[in-house]
Structure 1
Amino acid sequence: MNSRKKILVDSRWAGNTGIGRLYKEVMKYAPSEASFEFVSSKMGLGSLLSPLMLGEEIMKSNAEVFYSPSFMPPAFSKKPFIFTVHDLMHLFYYSKLHKIYYQQVIARLAPKAKKIITVSHFSKSQLVELLGIPESLIKVIYNGVDSHFLHNEEEFESSRPYFLYVGNRRKNKNVPAMLTAFAKAKIPHEFMFFLSGNSDVELESLITSLGIEKRVRYLGFIEESDLPKIYKGAHATLFASLMEGFGLPIIESMASGTPVLTSDTSSLPEIAGGSALCVNPTDISAIQAGIEKLVNDRTFYLDCVVNGLERAKDFSWEKTAAETWETILS
């Protein structure tokens, strides 16, 4: 390109979240032919007035294109805009207000976009089927995995083998089902279940009723720099979610050489690519059988390690960023 294209970016998404991670990596690999302005408003990310604010920011900006790493499009814009819809979880697991926002705001504004980025073909199909967004407007760009996971040799120190869950505790994450299956699994009692985050009353009540108080450990907030060794130290990662737009823990675990048990629904088989053990997340006995297989079937376990490492190589943040900038600048 002969001249640099000025991009207005919704930088409010910077931070320690999944969307914040995408934003960080996309900006890290920004090409030299782009220059930037950033949204100046400090309006909260959850504000229903964000689309109006973004329209005003675009109107007063000298930028040629607007980009958001998440689901807030501008209410009006004479300039091309690109935004990212990671999933449609809000239609199923959030409040009625969230559902209305997606159906009445995103669905109405999305057709005006230059392009909508999403993170899996599953999410693309939902955008088309549930919000009526034209298929031609949607570009699938997978998330990446940091090379630190592939290159790390350090393991988290634990005196007992452990299964690992990394993520929040929202309903779609299906954590109670995984804990129940773990408690029922016919495996040596030395196996632990490690979870990111801290204890909560509801989960503690379940753990007590299952009689596994001494087999569950909370890891609290996990620093990004500590994640590779925590994955690598695990016997396997459990991620039997009911619905995901992508499922980053799958490829982070695979890149660490740690097998994954995940779901056979939503985007998860797509991301696993045949290299994880996929089970029905609504069937506790199926999750239980999967846990038992990962402990008792050594040949299958080692196949998961090898295949997972190969699958993880298909994903990189550099590739994610390159495809994103190609979409923005084209």
Structure 2
Amino acid sequence: MNRRKKILVDSRWAGNTGIGRLYQEVMNYPPAEVSCEYVKSKMGLGSLLSPLMLGEEIKKSNAEVFYSPSFMPPAFSKVPFIFTVHDLMHLFYYSKLHKIYYEQVIARLAQKAKKIITVSHFSKSQLVEILGIPDELIRVIYNGVDDHFLKNEEEFVSIRPYFLYVGNRRTNKNVPAMLTAFAKARIPNDFMFYLSGNEDPELAILIGSLGIQKRVRFLGFIEEVDLPKLYKGAHATLFTSLMEGFGLPIIESMASGTPVLTSNTSSLPEIAGGAALCVNPHEVGAIQSGIEKLVDDEDFYVECIVKGLARAREFSWEKTAAETWETILS
């Protein structure tokens, strides 16, 4: 009987986030030849001391390889390590301290990795060009989409047709521009705009100034089990971010048979693969025209559904997990 290879995994990333989803799916498909143990420290994910803590955890472990589903690599690792950098958002949309930490700590430790995984060719190009990571050190492994989006036939019950946004409210998400474009779009007034999460004061002021209080609904926290129905019931998904490393809502929406309006920048056209309507996210007028096209052009709308379903079938979490474990064990 062959001895199983011991892998130490940074399990602190488990949870209801994009990174947590990747972690969960990779851990759902472990090869028979691995034995996993997990980082015991409860140190916060944002702690600047994480690399030192991970180095100590590795020192105490008898694991042969360390793996993290996110951007924190270990310092002073006695074993080969692999970690995933989803994007370089910290350099553009976070504090100056985040930028310095990424450039001076993460980038330097990354050079010592056995392999760095990233989720799009756009993110890989940023790692090479901005952080100076050698091209050959980086492997692109796309995220997946769960089968339940493709198989679901239930729709969220809404009396009025609606556009949908799923995501957080960070600056790169461009939510004010989407709301403004929706308000200006020459479409029937019965169209609603549904957003995940709760209303915040800044958006409330904007919505009031646009006069669309009765056409916007905040859905609060959305359970994973409810997402397919929400996508399926939507007229279209709006996801015109300024920057993304991947953009999971694009393929989740496509897998649900719902067209997507997204951006022509960063990783988004790469992930859309010609199956979504891509516009300039910096121009409210371009987003507005995209919304109008998805309401007015029925032939184009149906084309988006057909192409989107085909594109979504190219992604699977099982494939993501298999390629990740192959990288860990190689």
Q: TM-score range by the shorter chain?
A: over 0.9
Partner of 2:127: 127
> What are the residue-to-residue correspondences of 1:52-131 with 2, within 5 Å?
52-131=52-131
- What is the TM-score of this pair, normalised by structure 2? 0.99
Report the residue type matching 1:89 in the other structure.
Answer: M
Offset at 1:60?
1.1
Offset at 1:281?
0.1
Q: CA RMSD in A?
A: 0.7
- What secondary structure, in the 3-state scheme, does the structure 2 residue paired with 1:241 have? coil
Partner of 2:281: 281
Q: Does residue 1:138 correspond to 2:138, yes or no?
A: yes
> What are the residue-to-residue correspondences of 1:1-330 with 2, within 5 Å?
2-330=2-330
The CA distance in 2 between the partners of 1:295 and 1:275, in whole Å, is 17
The CA distance in 2 between the partners of 1:290 and 1:17, in whole Å, is 28
Offset at 1:78?
1.9
Gaps of 5+ in 2: none
- What is the TM-score of this pair, normalised by structure 1? 0.99
Report the residue type matching 2:112 in the other structure.
Answer: K
The CA distance in 1 between the partners of 2:34 and 2:246, in whole Å, is 28
Offset at 1:37?
1.0
The CA distance in 1 between the partners of 2:90 and 2:102, in whole Å, is 7
Offset at 1:3?
2.1
Report the residue type matching 2:182 in the other structure.
Answer: F
Report the residue type matching 1:126 in the other structure.
Answer: Q
Report the residue type matching 2:178 in the other structure.
Answer: M
Offset at 1:201?
0.4
Report the residue type matching 2:34 in the other structure.
Answer: A
CA deviation string 1:201-237 (max 9, x = no partner) = 0000000000000000000000000000000000000
CA deviation string 1:57-92 (max 9, x = no partner) = 111110000000000000111210000000000000
The CA distance in 2 between the partners of 1:105 and 1:22, in whole Å, is 24
The CA distance in 1 between the partners of 2:180 and 2:30, in whole Å, is 45
The CA distance in 2 between the partners of 1:36 and 1:197, in whole Å, is 35
The CA distance in 2 between the partners of 1:41 and 1:117, in whole Å, is 23
CA deviation string 1:281-322 (max 9, x = no partner) = 001100000000000000000000000000000000000000
The CA distance in 2 between the partners of 1:226 and 1:284, in whole Å, is 30
Offset at 1:22?
0.4
Gaps of 5+ in 1: none
Structure 1 runs, 4 residues or longer, greater than 6 Å off: none
The CA distance in 2 between the partners of 1:60 and 1:136, in whole Å, is 30
The CA distance in 2 between the partners of 1:265 and 1:30, in whole Å, is 34
Offset at 1:97?
1.0
The CA distance in 1 between the partners of 2:119 and 2:66, in whole Å, is 19
